[in-house]
Structure 1
Amino acid sequence: MGIGKTIKRTLSGMLFIVVLLTMVPGTSFAAGGSLSAPTAVKEFEYDSTGKAAVGKVQFTFQANADGTYQYKITDESHVGLTNTGEWITVTSVALRSSSVLILYAGHNVTIQARAVDSTGAVGETAVCSITELSSETDAFLSSGAITADQRMLITYAMNEAGKPYVYAAGGPDAYDCSGFVQAVYKKMGITIPRVSGSQATAGTEAEPDSLQPGDILCFASTVGGTSVSHVGIYLGYDKFIHAPRTGDAVRIATLEGSYRSRLVTARRFLASNEIGAFVSRMYELALGRTAGTDEINYYVNLLSNRSITGADVSYGFLFSPEFINRALDNEAYVKVLYQTMMNREADAGGLDHWIGLLNGGVSREYVFQSFVMSAEYTGICDSYGIDRGDKILTDARSQNPGLTMFVSRMYTEALGREAETAGLEYYADALLNGRVTPVQAAQNFIFSPEFENKNLSDEAYVKILYRTFMGRDYDQGGLDYHLDRMANGTGRADILYGFAYSPEFQGIIASFGLK
């Protein structure tokens, strides 16, 4: 390799880095003469934040009689790519020039090219190594900001660049627009319709202002038209690749001007990276371990084709034996809900609210369902292109949190112990269905042998009634009033009835939807 030169320039808010590599003339071959290594031009495209979108390497060959060239991609970061590490032969008919354009989205990639003569002798190889990325860009690509499937599909699509447009052709040497799109997706193992009009109604609709690499762009033939007559594959950063028309070839275009105004819809067949990140969070934050690729892809595929919902996945993780066995306290549980479902840390007010409900006896399923039904989680699922879903709660203690907390107070304040789930469920169900009134439930606790065996003083008794019925501490005036009555002969049962039929407690009962 001879001289290396780097040129940087800014176009339309994007920074282009072009590396020109001039190759030393190649070796002479007895059969085929001197076949020099081609010159290579490597170009990466960045957005304004320095994130690499797509790259290309263009090899230009000296004229030779055969017009046959080979290139090879070796991808250390994408070992699953078909033909990686294999020489691929391209003829001048397919090239329509003496240059071959190899386009790729990725990193740690080596691309090589060489000429071949009629005897099969090969010339000197030109080598371009895609490793000259900034640390920020390398971290961006390594983090999965572009998913493995998106990178693979982009690579398949861009490696068809230069092949001619032929009406009704579906490859491998020529394409029409929909034939090109179908063929690229077929290499991914994804079957889509053959014609553009049918492609425009398949898959999931993608919003034009939130396009993802791999989305199919569907265009009308006229501005404002609604009938789709042309399609292409979105690459990222307002670039797409397509087979335009007779006399042209598969190439990259910019989604602006006429193309932007003729865009009818966009269709998505690949999962957006946010879905993978959502699943990864469940493994890492709910189960405390890193998921394998197969585990992530399993859920991503089900979510993407809407076979399951976001609520299904979240519930499956957060109520799995593996998660339950972690024995998290209520605070840790709520923090996991925020991190996994909202992708953020809990705010202090929200954290206190949910912990208060859980400490008051409300079920974790109820809190989970409240997260699922929130506007925030709904918006997140919508942005991922997945169904939010729902969680139907059937247990009685999850139907009315205020009522459940009242029953829980009977246990904690009157009996001085945590409520057992069966007891909470029994009383919540009995109260909801009218088999027991709130006053009768209170009597069952206050007049139980377990409570009476505490042998509480009158003062302690009245203080417990405040916390049990009113859910608050006593006020001094009220305490003095009740103690004075008891000192003058009023029994404990009458004091209880005074609390039970007070305007304050009746208002609490009304808030439960009970009488």
Structure 2
Amino acid sequence: MKGFKYLIGGLGAVLILFFAMPGAYASDFEDGVEAVTADSGDEMWEEALSLNINHLGGYESAYMFANEISTFALDVESVLRQELASALEQFVFQVDVSDLGLKRDSATVQMLTDIASDILNSDYRYFYISGFSYLYDQNDNIASVRWTCDSSYLISGTQEPDVDRIKGELSELEAALDKALDCVDSRMTVVEKVLAVHDYIVRVCDYDQENYVNNTVSVHSYSAWGVLIDGKAVCQGYAETFGAMMKALGIDSCLVASPSMNHIWNMVYIDGVWYHVDATWDDPVLYGTTAMGLPNNDYADEGYCVHKSFLKSDSEMTALGYFSWDDDVPDAPVSQAFNSYCFYNAASDMSYYNTYWYYLQSPGTICRAKIDGSDKQNFSAGDGAYLHLLGNVLYYSDSKGVYSFDPARGSSAVYFSVDKTYPGYTLTEFAVKNDQMIGVLWDGSGKFLRVVLEETGPAELESGSQTENGTQTENGTQTGDSGQTGGGSQTGTPGQPDTSEDPGMQAYDDPVEEFVARLYEYILDRSPDPSGLASWTKVLKEGREQGAKVAQGFIDSDEFKARTISGEEYLKILYRTFFDREPDASGLQAWLNVLDDGLSRLHVFKGFAESDEFTEICREYGIHRGNVALTAPRDQNEGVTKFLVRCYRLCLGREADEDGLNAWCTQILTGANTAKEAAWGFVFSNEFKGKNLSDQEFVKVLYRVFMDREADADGLNAWIRVLESGQGREHVFNGFADSLEFQEICREYGIQ
């Protein structure tokens, strides 16, 4: 789990000279007592206390409202709070409270702890405070309270706060917050403002994974400073920044902590309902690869954002793997208010432009829609993998460069070309930070460069747009309800297919004969035999078959199948045959993912054979392209196939066999089985039973299948107790299969 410092800003000093290390829990420290001498000369004792972030003040209201601060029942508490907060405002670090008549008893100490925690939780400006202590005399009268600065903010060689440095950094932080708020447009609704803030934080900040792993996280990474200045933070920094921006916008929000998860996030109040928001988990830590499957040499996928933990209910958070969070925060009831909103299935961060939101629905498809998902239009973007707004211009990227996008015309132009500037490299990540375009480049063998991308000269690209119905676009990249983009197409991106004649091929006077010879060369990797060449040429000329069907004949031939080539080599052959070029990295990986999801090679073949690129090749040779028919059950519905492949892997621990997969697809497609009934068939199959799993391992499998996560200790033990009480495994199965989490999984695959 991504960590948070349980004691805010380093809170939890044992003595005035000792400070809690970042990431520590409050229970790791005991309150310390040290004898000191007061200004009057009387002996006093100082006790340093741990402050609890997860209590959020620990009194009447646990929620931090933007326009409302909870009041105390007792005047002394109000005065104490006001004096402590006022002291920090004026950079005064020791407050005389002797006139309040405070006694050193457990109730008073708890009150002090709650007040101090609340002050720090509710204001991002106090990033330099690491704890507090109080002084008391021999009669247990509390004389003063002292705020403790983090050691990095003390004047060298002293225990005195460096006020000039603190003021300077505070001014810098406030300016950064003001700039961050520019992501919000006055025309936005409350939901849009929350979305804009969420995506801004994810866009400008990377999770401080390396320091977190090495236990070297700085005090800044636990605060808004880490997000807004350093661009690097842990979850507490993300949550604190989100809360500060909500407060500035007048939107009610609160912090939510789970000590068991070592994690903290936010809740936000919209139209009378509370929702969870976790910018940290929506900024994924990816190890060695980007979300698009390209190599990565650090933990961050710069420019990538998801919305899995955005505006969620309690039950949805539980399904995502959250647990044991504070019980004194508001309830977030089940709500489907935002299920149709445009961010719900977005595959990128969201860019707001002229009252519309622009985002990638899938690689290569730019979507424009109103926040509620209405008035949606799709645009082709080649193999576009990232989309960002800089100034008033939208930019998307693929492995070869960055392109400006004009939504009014649906057209694109080259902004940055990798080949022109860094020949031999691939663009693996693209982000906009601090008003600059940042790119990560990879040389194919292990060398990475992180650079500012400068314009290399415009080159107009083809235009084309489509509406939601999934029809083919003007430039030919096809999308639809399946979400699959057309066959690795480079249409709309730099570098047209090379249609020049292969110098190794024989020249033919007859274009149809040359088309057939090309299939021999690219698919069978040999020169044509005279009889075969004549036979296929005659089939095409007589109109008995068209180009795609003839190409399928080569792919389905015993000669080709005998080559037993890998999926990657199969795709490379398709790229050469149907696009007249070698594959680009992102397109190749996208199609490999399709094969890994369980779709057949013929399904992939169809995407290539019905592409605009192959249509143009056929036109050049004077033949009709034609279409490809898919008859196998596993090729009829991608969602069903992916669901069943998942069952094979999670239940049986193996890849699906073709006959079994087609049989199960038929059962679901015909309505003979529901998703639950299919899952039952896997879990109680002889093959599964033959594994002889213990009750513990059985329950763990159910968590993976029905919750899409590993079992938490409490839940695992609870289900084992159910089995030990005499209930059968069928009973436990039903408990998982009827859960909201499994319903959500089924919804994602489009099945019942």
TM-score exceeds 0.5: no
Coarse TM-score class (shorter-chain normalised): 0.3 to 0.5
TM-score (norm 2): 0.30
